[in-house]
Amino acid sequence: MNYKAVIQYEGTRYRGWQVQGNTEHTIQGKLEALLSRLEGADVEVHGSGRTDAGVHAAGQVISFRCAKDRNVEEIRTYMNRYLPEDIAVLSVEEAAPRFHARLHAVRKTYVYRIWNDPVMNVFGRRFLAQVEEPLDMAAMRTAAEYLQGTHDFRAFCSLKRFRKSTVRTVEEIGICREGAGVEITYTGDGFLYHMVRILTGTLVEVGLGFRKAESVKNILDSRDRANAGRLMPPEGLMLMNVEYRTM
């Protein structure tokens, strides 16, 4: 039986999503160990994407197969009972036989949160990246307009070697502010390694006056990581939602 589940996690103490041989502290590792114990055999968990160390998720989607036909509520209850307190399973449902959480995702939404104040928000420090100097919201929104659409985003990726296309479609970048809190929301068909954090770093540099909004066009054309902005810290980033076509 093939299953689809929606999970959330605080990534602070984990080394990222993907299983690693030198540590037990990965989200995928925790899920696979627990489901394998439930099944009595190895269970492989596929996520919609690989979040980096320290990155959070409010709506990560996973898929996995169990040989035994189990009630979805039984699976959800079991997982929430034994998972650590910083990982939770929101829902479990039976999926189409060929459903795959990563291969069949068509749209993802990420949010990057910034605390734009010299004094850090103590209670939000694990979910916010601090930028002390004032940010020019209008300039950042202008720069964001150049990044929307279908482009080659190679300049906004940390990988040095590429085996697949770096062309992606970013449908929308929304920037809003409430008090000292700034939220940048990205919706697109997929994102490259570190892409959201580098896009955010570039927008922040525009907001600080270190580069012009129009320079974003040249960064895209250059396809050179050295021309893009800083890599923002992981704690401000959260995967919010993953969408799929009906199968």
Assessment of whether the complete model's pTM goes beyond 0.85: yes
Q: Give the model's pLDDT for residue 247.
A: 60
| Confidence at residue 20, expressed as pLDDT on a 0 to 100 scale | 86
* Same domain as 209, residue 145: yes
Over 70: is that where the pLDDT of 245 sits?
Answer: yes
Same structural domain, 119 and 15: no
pLDDT at 23: 82
Instruction: Give the residue from 36, 67, 94 where a domain finishes.
Output: 94
- The answer to whether residue 119 is domain-embedded is yes
Give the per-residue pLDDT at 209. 98
Q: Show the tokens assigned to 219.
A: 């960064």
Same domain, 84 and 117: no
Range name among 12-21, 85-94, 193-202, 222-231 with the lowest pLDDT average: 12-21
Catalytic hit among 52, 86, 136, 189: 52
219: enclosing H helix or E strand: helix 215-222
Any catalytic annotation for residue 52? Answer: yes
Residue where one domain finishes, among candidates 48, 71, 94: 94
Q: What confidence category does residue 160 fall into, taking pLDDT thresholds of 50, 70 and 90?
A: confident
Instruction: Kindly state whether residues 117 and 235 are assigned to the same domain.
Output: yes
The pLDDT confidence band at residue 24, using thresholds 50, 70 and 90, is confident
Q: Give the domain CATH number at 207.
A: 3.30.70.660
Residue range 158-163: mean pLDDT, rounded: 89
The pLDDT-based confidence of 97 (bands split at 50, 70, 90) is very high
Pick from 9-23, 53-67, 191-205: least confident: 9-23
Same domain, 121 and 84: no
Which domain range does residue 56 map to? 2-94
User: CB under 8 Å to 164, separation ≥6 — which residues?
Assistant: none
Residue 100 lies in a domain: no
Residue 120 sits in the same domain as residue 232: yes
114 and 35 in a common domain: no
CB 5 within 8 A of CB 61: yes
Percent with pLDDT over 90 in the chain: 93
Residue 1 is predicted with a pLDDT of 94
* Helix/strand/coil (H/E/C) assignment for every residue in 172-194: EEEEEEECCEEEEEEEECCCCCC
Please check whether residues 153 and 51 belong to one and the same domain: no
pLDDT-derived band at 21 (thresholds 50, 70, 90) equals confident
